[in-house]
Amino acid sequence: MENKLRDVLIVRLGEVTIKGKKSRDRFEKKLIENIKEALRLSGLQGEVKREYGRIYVYSTQEAIKVLRRVFGITSISSAVEFEFETLGEIVEVAYQLFCDKVKGKTFAVKARRTGTHSFTSMDIAREVGGRLYPCSRGVDLENPEFTVYIEVRGNKAYLFQDVVKAYGGLPVGVEGRVVALVSGGFDSIVAAWYMLKRGAEVHFVFCNMAGELTERLVASVVKMLVDNWGYGYSPKLYVADFRPLVKELRKKVDPGLLGVVLKRYMYRTAEHVARKINALGIVTGESLGQVSSQTLENLYSSSTAVSLPVYRPLIGMDKEEIIARAREIGTYEASARVKEVCGVYSVHPRTRSRLEEVLREEDKIDKTVFEGVVSSLREIELRTLGIQAESLDEVEISTIDPDSIVIDLRPPEKYRESHVPGSINIDFAELPVALDKLDPNKKYIFICDEGGLSREAAYTLRKLGYKAWSFKGGYRALSRKLDGLSS
Ligand code: ATP
Ligand code: MG
């Protein structure tokens, strides 16, 4: 008897299967839709078939990597499928497939069965085990070096040797929509990942305090996240120009409370987008106590700005865990390229704000400035967005050439504390105004706290034809260097 063997990927569903009939039906349909999109976006072909509690994907081995990133799937096995009439045929196929593989190894056979047959799963295990025994080093049911899995479903048998774990969760989209505030940094991206994992359709809001280069870097991280994990919808990135607001805040608000007031406006921007697209929550990458803005007091003061719930999937996670997750999901490198725009924060942010004070500070703000921020919102379609690899190598340097002019973009109080001898202090926000004082024939090196704003400044000036660079890693890296030299 000729058995027709066919390669198949067995896709197992986790929580999806414990739902009631109606939700289960909806979840499985969505999962199949997401699987198809995942394959298509990865340039793979494949037929997807649904059977009660199972999904079968007929595609190549490469698809395993893709399927691991589709939420709602708990594990995948690459199997051989065939139709059989007798147990003897299953035994023979198992022998053909696994005799070589169990050579010199201990092995076990794990069999399962659904349907009506003249044999039990114990019979399958015993017969296949007996046939493979002479090929092997013996049977070890406790700790086998090789496991033969056999699953019989009706008149079909599936034989495989591995179970590849996936991430579980729920199919993206089944839990409705949220808006994630993203800075492009490690935390906010990982937070959005967790919401995708639980089946939320995540859209993104970036409050841009720097400029075009930063926006492009942030967009590329977010795109990387959704192209690898966010299948089954059309993810959007909303970008708001926060520069006028930052300027206003720095002019009028107590520097110690600026961070909290700024955060309130970010939440409001997210809420505005959420209302527009019918999203039911705001997501952030905050984790309790991680930085001054993330104390219970400051999180409370920030939260009262909006009435939508704020979800913080990382609240109980340590930085190390978050970083490890960022590496695992593949966004670490891209996030590392997005530098913090610290220039807006004060030297001594208050860790324990009181809401009344925060509100009093916020009252000083010209409300039309925020209206301007809202009307600056632009929608970017992430799926079709073309990403140019940004070469930062040209713009970033790590030495200061003596015949260049150093422009320090940090707040004046930090500049006064210490600076590069001979450097001049220009506020980042004032840069456009200061431009006509710059000489196109001279070389300029920008420096800021961590190298984010300076990179943006150098990038902008270059586009205007100036010779400009950014000091890599900012003042922080420079101080470390100087410390190293003097010790
Ligand atoms: P991340 O690693 O996500 O940048 P962080 O550790 O730098 O976070 P904060 O700067 O306090 O911490 O930001 C906390 C959260 O606020 C971020 O995770 C993000 O959700 C939101 N957020 C911060 N900056 C921005 C921004 N420029 N645009 C949109 N959201 C932001
Ligand atoms: Mg950040």
Percent of the chain with pLDDT over 90: 76
Distance CA(378)–CA(105), nearest Å, equals 61
User: What are the phi and psi torsion angles at 264 (to 5°)?
Assistant: -60, -40
When mean pLDDT is compared over 50-59, 138-147, 426-435, the highest value belongs to: 138-147
Model pLDDT, residue 6:
96
Whether 117 shows a pLDDT value over 90: the answer reads yes
Sole residue written with tokens 């997005």: 338
**What integer is the mean pLDDT of 72-98?**
97
Give the tokens for residue 52.
Answer: 């009660």
Name the token pair of 67. Answer: 């399927």
* Residue 285 is labelled as binding a ligand: yes
**Which ligand gives the minimal distance to the CA of 184?**
1
Q: Is the pLDDT of residue 159 over 60?
A: yes
User: Does the beta carbon of 78 lie inside 6 Å of ligand 1?
Assistant: no
Return the structure tokens found at 23. 């939700």
Q: Which ligand is nearest to the CA of 182?
A: 1
Task: Tell me the pLDDT tens digit for each residue of 203-244.
Answer: 999 999 999 999 999 999 999 999 999 999 999 999 999 999
Distance (Å, whole) CA 192 – CA 321 = 15
CATH architecture of 392-485: 3-Layer(aba) Sandwich (3.40)
User: Which atom number of ligand 1 is nearest to the Cα of residue 189?
Assistant: 3
Q: Which of 99, 135, 207, 448 is catalytic?
A: 448
Q: Which residue has the tokens 């994907």?
A: 57
Q: What average pLDDT does the segment 344-361 reach?
A: 85
Q: What spacing in Å lies between the alpha carbon of 183 and ligand 2's midpoint?
A: 6
SS3 66: helix
Is 182 annotated for ligand binding?
Answer: yes
CATH of domain 6-165: 3.30.2130.30
Q: Which residue has the tokens 């739902």?
A: 19
Residue 77 has pLDDT above 60, yes or no: yes
Look up residue 16 and give its two tokens.
């999806």
Residue 389 has pLDDT above 80, yes or no: no
- Predicted local confidence at residue 344, as pLDDT: 62
pLDDT of residue 388 exceeding 80: no
- Whole-number pLDDT of residue 1: 47
CB 210 within 8 A of CB 456: yes
Ligand 1 pocket, residue 286 CB under 6 Å: yes
Among the bound ligands, the one closest to the CA of 259: 1
Query: For residue 85, how far is its CA from the centre of ligand 1 (angstroms)?
Result: 61
- Higher per-residue confidence, 429 vs 367: 367
Contact 470, 454 (CB under 8 A): yes
Classify the C-alpha dihedral 219-222-228-234 as positive or negative.
Answer: negative
**Angle in degrees, CA 291, 357, 294, rounded to 5:** 15
Mean pLDDT score of the chain, rounded to an integer? Answer: 93
Taken as a whole, the chain contains a residue count of 487
Question: How far does residue 343's CA lie from ligand 1's centre (Å)?
Answer: 14
Give the pLDDT mean for 373-385.
Answer: 97
- Stretch 372-376: mean pLDDT, rounded? 98
Ligand 1 atom having least distance to the Cα of 269:
29
Answer for the pair 373, 241: CB distance below 8 angstroms, yes or no.
Answer: yes
pLDDT of residue 341: 64
The atom number, within ligand 1, closest to the CA of 291 reads 11
Whether 324 contacts 237, CB under 8 Å: no
Q: How far apart are CA 424 and CA 446, in angstroms?
A: 10
Q: Give the position, in ligand 1's atom list, of the atom nearest the Cα of 285.
A: 18
> 46 among the known binding-site residues?
no
Any known ligand binding at 263?
A: yes
Q: Domain boundaries in the chain?
A: 6-165, 177-381, 392-485
The answer to whether 9 and 63 have CB atoms below 8 angstroms apart is yes
Pick the closest to residue 408 from 392, 441, 430, 391 (CA basis).
Answer: 430
The Cα-based distances of 282 to 160, 260, 266, 297 in angstroms read 43, 17, 10, 19
Instruction: State in words which class domain 177-381 has.
Output: alpha beta
Range of lowest pLDDT (74-83, 148-157, 310-319, 440-449)? 440-449
Q: Does pLDDT of 176 surpass 90? A: yes
Cα(391) to ligand 1 centroid in Å equals 24
Q: Could you tell me if the CB of 344 is within 6 A of ligand 1?
A: no
Asked if the model's pLDDT at residue 486 lies above 60, the reply is no
181 annotated to a ligand binding site: yes
User: How far is Cα 190 from Cα 319, in angstroms, rounded to an integer?
Assistant: 11
Residue 426 Cα to ligand 1 midpoint, Å, equals: 25
Our answer to whether residue 99 is catalytic in this structure is no
pLDDT bin (cut points 50, 70, 90) of residue 48 is very high
Does the C-beta of 178 come closer than 6 Å to ligand 1? no
Q: Enter the DSSP assignment of 430.
A: G
Say whether 320 sits in a helix, a strand or coil: helix
Of 44-53, 331-340, 359-368, the range with the highest mean pLDDT is: 359-368
291 lines ligand 1 (CB under 6 A): yes
| pLDDT tens digit sequence for 276-294 | 999 999 999 999 988 888 9
| pLDDT tens digits, one per residue of 444-471 | 999 998 888 899 899 888 888 889 999 9
Closest residue by Cα to residue 30 from 20, 18, 38, 42: 38
